[in-house]
Amino acid sequence: MKVGSRLSAVVLAALLLLSSCRTAGPQTAAIFAMDTVMDFTVYGGAQTLADAEARVRELETLFSVTSEESELSALNRSGGGTVSAETAALIPAALALCERTGGALDITVYPVVRAWGFTAGDRRVPSGEELAALSAAVDYRGVSVKGNAVTLAQGAEIDLGSVAKGYTADRLTEQLRAAGVESALLNLGGNVQAIGKKPNGHDWRVAIRDPQSKKNIAVLAVSNRAVVTSGGYERFFERDGVTYHHIIDPATGCPAKSGLLSVTVVAESGLLADALSTALYVMGLDRAAEHWRAYRDFEAVFVDENGTIFLTEGLQSCFSPISRDAAVEVIRL
């Protein structure tokens, strides 16, 4: 064999190998857990999806506030007790974020959320007196954690719905990476976790929805990031022509009216992104922008009631609006 043809044989073999790698499709799964549909796309690693699903189910058994059998429900009933290492890790991490957001995030909001019927039971509009009475017990500072022992103040009950999916996404990311996965996209019902890049070396593309039309309005190109959206449009009901949504302002006990319709947070940590998407929604644009300037450990996209899109300046290079006519403003330092 001549040198030239030997070389082309080697090149051909390399190309074949490469294309066989490329055509090795992803493992995909769609499961219903934590009250939402989750979609996983994972490249490489054996058995990883079955393990991921098992992990989600395990965490759901701990954190679900709607299941009476969960560890969290038992804690809420008893007002205190010893919890698993997992719950004893999440609660203090969430409390630190309640503190950081000045109580815009408050995991003791559960009695109020339940009164509105957002988690279980019938959706209803509680009276002002009922909300005032329930809100009196809403205060994350009444939760104390010492090792695995958690104690709740009188009347307080914890809802981890604002942070559990983000925490779960972080645990899944760790688990998949430990199993050798370098490329995956996990969507836990609006909590997206991009692991590495796509197998072709490009960033993952995560769409942001228009809170009003529910069509996609923009795309974020990301790798190794959590992209988490909170929006009033995700869970709501109407009574007498008024819309009530599930993100509660702990200061009033009512659905937050901050002028925002959705907040998307991009951060390395799924837990941080999840906690902040909820909290910044409550804070509104101005306070949220101040929070970003003070911490700089996340970026965010906000959609307000006029349909204007605001993005923090760190996202400029990875943000593409779908319509050329979209009103987009950049939040700068």
- Residues forming contacts to Mg ion in the complex (CB under 5 A) are 162, 274, 277-278
Is 109 a binding residue for ligand AMP by CB under 6 A? The answer is yes
Which of 135, 173, 230, 312 binds ligand AMP (CB under 6 A)? It is: 230
Q: Which is nearer to Mg ion, 114 or 165 (CB)?
A: 165
Nearer to ligand AMP, 107 or 169 (CB): 107
Nearest CB to ligand AMP, comparing residues 169 and 248? 248
Q: Is 183 in the site for ligand AMP (CB under 6 A)?
A: no
161 binds, among Mg ion, ligand AMP, none (CB under 5 to 8 A by kind): ligand AMP
Size of the site for ligand AMP (CB under 6 A): 20
Nearer to Mg ion, 160 or 217 (CB): 160
In angstroms, what is the minimal distance from the CB of 274 to ligand AMP?
5
Beta bridge mates, 219? 207, 320
**Applying CB under 6 A, does 250 fall inside the site for ligand AMP?**
yes
Distance set, CA 313 to CA 7, 210, 319 (Å): 49, 20, 10
Q: Which stretch binds ligand AMP (CB under 6 A): 158-166, 168-176, 291-299, 320-328?
A: 158-166
Residue 282 CB, shortest distance to ligand AMP, in Å, is: 5
248 binds, among Mg ion, ligand AMP, none (CB under 5 to 8 A by kind): ligand AMP
User: SS3 sequence, the chain?
Assistant: CCHHHHHHHHHHHHHHHHHHHHHCCCEEEEEEECCEEEEEEEECCCCHHHHHHHHHHHHHHHHCCCCCCCHHHHHHHHCEEECCHHHHHHHHHHHHHHHHCCCCCCCCEHHHHHHCCCCCCCCCCCCHHHHHHHHCCCCHHHCEEECCEEECCCCCECCCCCCHHHHHHHHHHHHHHHCCCCEEEEEECCEEEEECCCCCCCCEEEEEECCCCCCEEEEEEECCEEEEEEEHHHCEEEECCEEEECCEECCCCEECCCCEEEEEEEECCHHHHHHHHHHHHHHCHHHHHHHHHHHCCCEEEEEECCCCEEEEHHHHHHEEECCCCCCEEEECC
Asked if 156 interacts with ligand AMP (CB under 6 A), we say no
Is residue 210 close enough to count as binding ligand AMP by CB under 6 A?
no
Given 38, 107, 220, 227, the residue binding ligand AMP (CB under 6 A): 107
Q: Does 113 bind ligand AMP (CB under 6 A)?
A: yes
118 binds ligand AMP (CB under 6 A): yes
Q: Quick count: other Cβ atoms within 10 Å of Cβ 235?
A: 16
| Closer of 160 and 222 to Mg ion (Cβ) | 160
Asked if 232 touches ligand AMP (CB under 6 A), the answer is no
Would you tell me which residues interact with ligand AMP (CB under 6 A)?
Answer: 105-107, 109, 113, 118-119, 159, 161-162, 230, 235, 246-248, 250, 274, 277-278, 282
